[in-house]
């Protein structure tokens, strides 16, 4: 029995070491990193907590929610990976959850039901995000913020305004998580192009709601014989991906598992950037000069201070150019709605 336990322990240690080595580190050089998840007991929060517990770049995992985090934290903490896990709940414990955090991931807030748009979540989620960002400004003003709560097109501008008021705003550290759009675009493209999904890349730009989600299939790799008609259908399916899940869940919420996966990918990219791993590039919704809109999702190089460089759009097809012009009014109005709310 003892020898069985020993081999299991050796396997876990070897797995964790080799995954660190795969990420470009020597096993001695991985710095301590604290990640806080706000909304950790929710549909996204729980599987995201699990995935972040499996990430060897995390040394301290703080799980915060208004309730139920002690159970989630106790459960996840038994997994034999690197990070220490602590559960926090209620306003009184928010400061402790945030103190010293390098990355704060925010999936707190209500999800959609069939028939709703993401903007229909604004009235509840805007207040939740505002309150959480006020606490972030106080307890971990230098953390990288990964905003998942919808409507992302408005919650990111709300966060920016809260940080500006507190005097802590750094545009390099605030990210709207649009990785799920990229994950979907890759999956749908691989299916149509009949290529192995593992090697597929598709940038997705714009925002994170309906037509503001603009996948750039003209830049998808590997190149494949996909007709214009199929590109139109792939674009629509990517834009409606969230709604597809909301309808399939029929009142029981929106994407949680694929979102947890996407959120974990993006947080991992942020941690790698912080740790100085070169050439970490992800699409994300950030303060931007790429278009005339103040916030825009595009490829971003991540570095030791968060955003290292916001990359341009590259060549667009006529269909994508048209999509870009179409998305601007809606995206601008969602951004302005967020800014107005934060300043009222």
Ligand X SMILES: NC(=O)c1ccc[n+]([C@@H]2O[C@H](COP(=O)([O-])OP(=O)(O)OC[C@H]3O[C@@H](n4cnc5c(N)ncnc54)[C@H](O)[C@@H]3O)[C@@H](O)[C@H]2O)c1
Residues designated as active site? 208
By CB under 6 A, tell whether 150 contacts ligand LMR: yes
Least distance to ligand X, CB of residue 66, Å: 5
Least distance to ligand X, CB of residue 10, Å: 36
Residue 149 assigned ligand-binding role: yes
Angle, nearest 10°, between helix axes 228-239 and 318-342?
Answer: 10
By CB under 6 A, tell whether 180 contacts ligand X: yes
Q: In this structure, what token pair is assigned to residue 52?
A: 């972040």
Chosen residue from 246, 297, 300, 342 binding ligand LMR by CB under 6 A:
246
Contact yes or no for 134/145 (Cβ under 8 A) = no
Nearer to ligand X by C-beta: 65 or 161? 65
Residue 306 to residue 113: CA distance in whole angstroms? 34
Q: In this structure, what token pair is assigned to residue 106?
A: 């925010």
Residue 52 assigned ligand-binding role: no
By CB under 6 A, tell whether 182 contacts ligand LMR: no
Residue 262 assigned ligand-binding role: no
By CB under 6 A, tell whether 112 contacts ligand LMR: yes
**Residue 201 bridge partners (DSSP):** 221
Residue 329 to residue 209: CA distance in whole angstroms? 13
Query: Taking Cα atoms as reference points, which of 117, 110, 106 lies closest to residue 176?
Result: 106
Least distance to ligand X, CB of residue 28, Å: 35
Chosen residue from 190, 245, 297, 339 binding ligand LMR by CB under 6 A:
245
Residue 166 to residue 162: CA distance in whole angstroms? 6
Residue 268 assigned ligand-binding role: no
* Binding-residue total with ligand LMR (CB under 6 A): 11
Q: In this structure, what token pair is assigned to residue 110?
A: 């209500």
Nearer to ligand LMR by C-beta: 87 or 241? 241
Nearer to ligand X by C-beta: 132 or 234? 132
Kindly report the backbone phi and psi dihedral angles of residue 246, in degrees, each rounded to the nearest multiple of 5, phi listed first.
Answer: -55, -45
Contact yes or no for 265/23 (Cβ under 8 A) = no
Nearer to ligand X by C-beta: 207 or 273? 207
Tell how strand 103-106 and strand 34-38 pair up. parallel
Contact yes or no for 41/67 (Cβ under 8 A) = yes
Q: In this structure, what token pair is assigned to residue 112?
A: 């959609």
Contact yes or no for 66/87 (Cβ under 8 A) = no
Q: In this structure, what token pair is assigned to residue 202?
A: 């598709």
Q: Which does 206 bind (CB under 5 to 8 A by kind): ligand X, ligand LMR, none?
A: none
Nearer to ligand LMR by C-beta: 86 or 254? 254
Output the CA torsion 53→54→59→60 (10° steps): -10
Q: Which does 212 bind (CB under 5 to 8 A by kind): ligand LMR, ligand X, none?
A: none
By CB under 6 A, tell whether 38 contacts ligand X: yes
Detail the residues annotated as belonging to a binding site for NAD(+). 39-45, 65, 125, 148-150, 259
The residue ranges that bind ligand LMR (CB under 6 A) are 111-112, 118, 150, 180, 241-242, 245-246, 254-255
Detail the residues annotated as belonging to a binding site. 39-45, 65, 112, 118, 125, 148-150, 184, 259
The residue ranges that bind ligand X (CB under 6 A) are 38-39, 41-45, 64-66, 107-112, 121, 125, 128, 131-132, 148-150, 152, 177, 180, 208, 253-256, 259
């Amino acid at each position: 029995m003892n020898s069985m336990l020993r081999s299991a322990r050796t396997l876990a240690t070897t797995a964790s070491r080799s995954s660190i080595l795969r990420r470009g580190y020597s096993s001695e050089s991985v710095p301590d990193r604290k990640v806080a998840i706000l909304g950790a007991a929710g549909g996204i929060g729980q599987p995201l907590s699990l995935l972040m517990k499996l990430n060897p770049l995390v040394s301290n995992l703080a799980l915060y929610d208004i309730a139920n985090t002690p159970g989630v934290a106790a459960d996840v903490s038994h997994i034999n990976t690197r990070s220490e896990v602590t559960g926090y709940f209620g306003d009184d414990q928010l400061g402790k959850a945030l103190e010293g955090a390098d990355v704060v991931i925010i999936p707190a807030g209500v999800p959609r039901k069939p028939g709703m748009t993401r903007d229909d979540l604004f009235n509840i989620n805007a207040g939740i995000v505002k309150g959480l960002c006020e606490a972030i400004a106080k307890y971990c003003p230098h953390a990288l913020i990964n905003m998942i709560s919808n409507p992302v097109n408005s919650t990111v501008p709300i966060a920016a305004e809260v940080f500006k008021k507190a005097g802590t705003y750094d545009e390099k550290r605030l990210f709207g998580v649009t990785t799920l759009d990229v994950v979907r675009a890759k999956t749908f493209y691989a299916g149509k192009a009949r290529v192995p999904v593992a090697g597929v890349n598709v940038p997705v730009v714009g925002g994170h709601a309906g037509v503001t989600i603009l996948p750039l299939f003209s830049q998808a790799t590997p190149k494949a014989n996909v007709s214009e008609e199929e590109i139109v259908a792939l674009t629509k399916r990517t834009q409606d991906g969230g709604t597809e899940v909301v309808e399939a869940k029929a009142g029981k919420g929106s994407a949680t598992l694929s979102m947890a996966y996407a959120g974990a990918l993006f947080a991992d990219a942020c941690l790698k950037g912080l740790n100085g791993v070169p050439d970490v590039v992800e699409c994300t919704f950030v303060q931007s000069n790429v278009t005339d809109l103040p916030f825009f999702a595009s490829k971003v190089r991540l570095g030791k201070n968060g955003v290292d460089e916001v990359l341009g759009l590259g060549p667009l097809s006529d269909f994508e150019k048209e999509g870009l012009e179409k998305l601007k009014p809606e995206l601008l109005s969602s951004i302005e709605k967020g800014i107005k709310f934060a300043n009222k």
